[in-house]
Structure 1
Amino acid sequence: MSMTIAADNMLATGGAAPDVAHVAPSDVLTPADRYQELFVAVQMGRVFDDSKSFPDCVPCVDPVEIMRRYRADHRLPGFDLKNFVTRHFARESVPAEHYVADTQQSLAAHIDSLWPVLRREPRHHPANSSLLPLPYDYVVPGGRFSEMYYWDSYFTMLGLAESGRRHLLTSMADNFAFLVDHYGHIPNGNRTYYLSRSQPPVFAMMVDLFETHGVQPAIRYLPQLKREYAYWMECAEDLAPGEAARHVVRLPDGALLNRYWDERDTPRDEGYLEDVDTAARSARERGEVYRDLRAGAESGWDFSSRWLADPSDLSTIRTTSILPIDLNSFLYKLETQIEKLARAHGDAATADAFASRAASRRRAIDRYLWSEKDGAFVDYDWRLGVQREGLSAALAVPLYVGLASHEQAHRAARALESRLLAAGGVRTTEQASRQQWDQPNGWAPLQWMATRGLIRYGEQALGREIAHRWLATVAAVYEREFKLVEKYSLHRDIDAASGGGGGEYPLQDGFGWTNGVVRKLLDEHPEHEANSSRAGS
């Protein structure tokens, strides 16, 4: 942490900056950077079934020595790549859980008992691995996701607060502040291979949660909020109409809106073989495809027909050509949060500047991301100059952050109800596809934002209905399988509810943000029968 950043923290908090002296210096080489041709051989040879496995492995000896041995041995007769990897790398160990399932637990009690299982501590960060050290404890999603994720964590925190885990809210809050201070942004997750991108910028919403639950005063995080904003808006001032750079696009009328982006244009470390195969099916330059795949991963919606020219073909992905309604809504929230905190801190000039930026973004959203035809918020293809066809559950995010007008909110409610509402909750999109962020899947964060966004604008009945349908879906799977999962397939009959499918990896159990949203909804809807759910009932 630089002296400037430390001083900025002290100014904001009126005290000392968090003590992060015990955090080891970060080695930011990704596994692909570090192991080069060995990395390519392992991934293309499918030594592991899951492309994420090797990037998460821990070297048993110094990586330089591993590469020396590999380069000396790999051309020798009888060289066995899998055996070499087994001798030189260890699968990352998961801390002992001591977790025994109790089939008599209620759904809420089951979630409460999972937090220790999903908790990780800095002392478990192995040397020379891809895991970025953090100063404080944190919660992971579960399954193959054994690191802290950015936007996942906000929804996980909802449940931590309800479970009385305020100490984890505090530690995670300061972990995110540490990441901004250390790297200039909050990466996708605390892995070196995630440093080239972020995820949906929800730190401004986390700050509200911290203050609501008495974790930390919001003003403490004003410096980090401003740095995150600078990351998302870098290069904006230099753009002429019709130009784009990094995360920012200046439209023909001079308005600024944002897109998802990644610094790299190479295959993702954690999806190497899949990305190579996808790019090989495209006539476009491979680097363009790789960057669009990476930008799709930054969106959190990895992957969805929202980003595809052809819903049936992932190789037609064009994420960087699309201005998403959810991203721009989150950035509107960030602008208004900075305005509010700066004004409370007595910095009227900064407050006025961010009020102006928020107002400009809202006008641009009204012009480009509101569809009169659909009566809903949509995405915009800035390269083609057209709004994207089809609705997605992202249309509720402007309601969640409070940027919609009352007329827009009520029209959006009707569109969501008529086109996305299913027996088990809100479908992710209208488009059925092989991608996991499409119909028929439903995801916990989208249910939460739809529910609360609708209630915010007086649509209590619909908001409550979505919450109840989602709780019924989760409870049905819990009673049958005694677990919560990453996503759910929303069938016509809730009794047939099941874990979701699609995407590039199997369905994951755990699961952080499902636990968080469900725990919060159970508390808000004590009358719902999901509160009495038991496994096998």
Structure 2
Amino acid sequence: MQRRALVALLAACAFNVAFASAQEAEVETPAQLYGKLFEEVQLNRVFPDGKTFVDAVPKEPPATIVQRYEEERGKSGFDLSAFVAAHFTLPEAPSDAYRSDASGDVCSHIDALWEVLQRKPDVTEQYSSLLPLPAPYVVPGGRFREIYYWDSYFTMLGLEESGRHDLARHMVDNFASLIERFGHIPNGNRTYYVSRSQPPFFGLMVDLVAAHSADRTAVHTTFLPALAKEYAFWMEGADTLAPGEAHRRVVRLPDGTLLNRYWDDRDRPRDESYREDVETARGSNRPQPEVYRHLRAAAESGWDFSSRWLEDGNRLPTIRTTDVVPVDLNSLLYRLETVLAEAYEADRKPEKAAEIRARAELRKAAVQRHVWDDEKTIFADYLWREDRRIDAVTAAALYPLFTGIATPEQAGEVAKAVRADLLKPGGLVTTTVATGEQWDAPNGWAPLQWIAIKGLADYGETDLARTIAERFASKAVAAWRATGKLMEKYNVVDEQLVTGGGEYPTQDGFGWTNGVLRKILVLYPDAVKERDAVAGCASRAANDNRPPARQPATAQ
């Protein structure tokens, strides 16, 4: 009976996903709108950053511009750059007008910076790649001019501590609107991001807003439809999979259990990184659509790019993202299932809640069976086609602690591995290998620091959690003192360097660093020795009577 009920639930969700897919098909990306013109602009590097052109707004209908391009490009003296400048309004460069006072305290800087990074509700602009949002939102900063899915959860951590519950709630409202429109949350609110999502933090966002609200139950019931559609998106096709098969984001393993992978519905170069993807595929000696799919799936993971996805552990052309069942994704989907079950309970639908809780327990058992490595005592990504775990220690191993999947014994073993392999002078390093990719050593990222700090603290590894918090906060504050900026990522290995690596220059702003640092300095007010730098770091949350943080059942 239970299995029939679960299959019925997934079948009922199939219509929503099909409807969303039809809406997605109506969205045309710049590559589709401009064809040969687009290819020439991107391959000839008219702009150093491929994202510039895809964020530009045409001054005339795209078909008119394409026709004029075809008429003029063969003429003597044709200048492609001049043609683009004449027919498109380019996005504004990241503003250099804002100057922070790095002599003050960093939390006052962050609290003021929310206004700089905030965007008003969007006005629909014809032919723009921007997908308009109905409420105010916070962008990461730098080249990232739009909202980003998983970034926003970590931004919201800081918004709540800054007393900006209103803006945190607006962020969730915006994501719910995207789910209603597309059936899922795109990577970001751009047309060229619609074919993929990002790590599914929506359930955690709802929980965060609920924790800071007077009526937790009302928040969960309000966002129940969006939570259900988000879950249906990630599980689409699960009810028809045979053992050993995969469909989009779902994999049914030979033993019949279901787990998930990252995916993208398109298999061509990313619009915003067109030239880079073409060059990677050309150097792979593999079918190019296959390489493009793996690159796009890695972009959905948020870890673009990392040795996690590389067959030889070093070279990007060996990327194989869709062959990997990732530990972080499946941990987050377990958490989404538990939040969705709570929402069904709040909406007085106990049978639905029981169905989803059963799915969560099945996922938890599958993670324990396939992702936990008894010999190496670490959670590791799983190659589903080869039925083996990848032999690597990465910061993704902390996700089962963050979401409550790990046992206390497993948490203790993960803590040992963190101390031995990942703990560095500036915090937690992302992986143990240096490939030149930004999600590898020597870089440390704010979201992964928080995943580790929260997960370790929940399981009683409080000293290690504090050490990571102190080291990362000290690194970020010292860099801010020196530069006046909070960065997207940091070199946590070399104390003399700020950051580096990746397919675009280092960005400053920066949403998730602001959010995580603001949260750390509330929880660990003595994390930074320079007291003047953290003098204004008490929580300014409007609701100081919020309930305590959730503790995983396994850690009780």
Amino acid in the other structure paired with 1:438: D
- 1:249-307, Cα deviation, whole Å (9 max, x unpaired): 10000011000000000000010000000000112110000000000000000000000
* 8 Å contact kept, 1:26–1:132: no
SS in 2 for 1:257: strand
- 1:292-324, Cα deviation, whole Å (9 max, x unpaired): 000000000000000001222100000000000
Residue 374 of structure 1 pairs with residue 373 of structure 2: no
Instruction: Indicate the residue corresponding to 1:55 in structure 2.
Output: 54
Which among 447, 451, 461 is matched to residue 459 of structure 1?
461
5+ residue gaps, structure 1:
1-24
1:243 shift after superposition = 0.4
Structure-to-structure mapping, 1:104-183, within 5 angstroms: 104-123=103-122, 126-183=125-182
Instruction: Indicate the residue corresponding to 1:507 in structure 2.
Output: 506
- More displaced, 290-299 or 170-179? 170-179
SS in 2 for 1:384: coil
1:97 shift after superposition = 8.9
Instruction: Indicate the residue corresponding to 2:71 in structure 1.
Output: 72
Structure-to-structure mapping, 1:456-535, within 5 angstroms: 456-492=458-494, 494=495, 496=496, 498-528=497-527, 529=529, 532-533=532-533
Aligned pair in 2 of structure 1 residues 96, 393: CA closer, same or farther (>3 Å)?
closer
* 8 Å contact kept, 2:183–2:233: yes
| 2: CA distance, partners of 1:467 / 1:180 | 34
Instruction: Indicate the residue corresponding to 2:547 in structure 1.
Output: none
SS in 1 for 2:51: coil
| 2: CA distance, partners of 1:89 / 1:385 | 50
Amino acid in the other structure paired with 2:278: V
Instruction: Indicate the residue corresponding to 2:27 in structure 1.
Output: 28
Instruction: Indicate the residue corresponding to 1:229 in structure 2.
Output: 231
1:519 shift after superposition = 0.7
| 2: CA distance, partners of 1:386 / 1:212 | 39
| 2: CA distance, partners of 1:388 / 1:530 | 41
Aligned pair in 2 of structure 1 residues 58, 27: CA closer, same or farther (>3 Å)?
farther
Instruction: Indicate the residue corresponding to 1:397 in structure 2.
Output: 399
1:129 shift after superposition = 1.1
Amino acid in the other structure paired with 1:295: A
- 1:64-106, Cα deviation, whole Å (9 max, x unpaired): 2111211111111211111100111121237989634223321
Residue 429 of structure 1 pairs with residue 431 of structure 2: yes
Instruction: Indicate the residue corresponding to 1:195 in structure 2.
Output: 194
What is the count of residue pairs matched by the alignment?
A: 508
Moved over 6 A (4+): 94-98
* 8 Å contact kept, 1:97–1:117: no
SS in 1 for 2:251: strand
- More displaced, 250-259 or 498-507? 498-507
Residue 340 of structure 1 pairs with residue 339 of structure 2: no
Amino acid in the other structure paired with 1:345: D
Instruction: Indicate the residue corresponding to 1:354 in structure 2.
Output: 356
SS in 2 for 1:261: coil
| 1: CA distance, partners of 2:195 / 2:526 | 45
Instruction: Indicate the residue corresponding to 2:38 in structure 1.
Output: 39
1:329 shift after superposition = 0.2
Structure-to-structure mapping, 1:61-100, within 5 angstroms: 61-93=60-92, 99-100=98-99
SS in 1 for 2:223: helix
SS in 1 for 2:259: strand
* 8 Å contact kept, 2:94–2:141: no
Structure-to-structure mapping, 1:444-455, within 5 angstroms: 444-455=446-457
| 1: CA distance, partners of 2:429 / 2:304 | 16
| 1: CA distance, partners of 2:154 / 2:394 | 19
| 2: CA distance, partners of 1:338 / 1:210 | 15
Which among 210, 216, 219 is matched to residue 217 of structure 1?
219
Structure-to-structure mapping, 1:264-413, within 5 angstroms: 264-413=266-415
Amino acid in the other structure paired with 1:51: G
Which has the higher relative contact order, 1 or 2, with Cα contacts under 8 A spaced 6 or more apart? Answer: 2
Instruction: Indicate the residue corresponding to 1:21 in structure 2.
Output: none
* 8 Å contact kept, 1:26–1:133: no
Root mean square deviation, CA, Å = 1.8
- More displaced, 96-105 or 359-368? 96-105
| 1: CA distance, partners of 2:493 / 2:408 | 32
1:135 shift after superposition = 0.5
Aligned pair in 2 of structure 1 residues 168, 26: CA closer, same or farther (>3 Å)?
farther
* 8 Å contact kept, 2:102–2:481: no
Aligned pair in 2 of structure 1 residues 459, 198: CA closer, same or farther (>3 Å)?
same
- 1:150-174, Cα deviation, whole Å (9 max, x unpaired): 0000000011111111221121111
1:530 shift after superposition = 5.3
* 8 Å contact kept, 1:95–1:124: no
| 2: CA distance, partners of 1:134 / 1:469 | 37
Amino acid in the other structure paired with 2:280: T
* 8 Å contact kept, 2:122–2:133: no
Instruction: Indicate the residue corresponding to 1:20 in structure 2.
Output: none
| 2: CA distance, partners of 1:525 / 1:144 | 31
SS in 1 for 2:200: coil
* 8 Å contact kept, 1:156–1:516: yes
Percent of residue pairs bearing the same amino acid type: 52
1:120 shift after superposition = 0.8
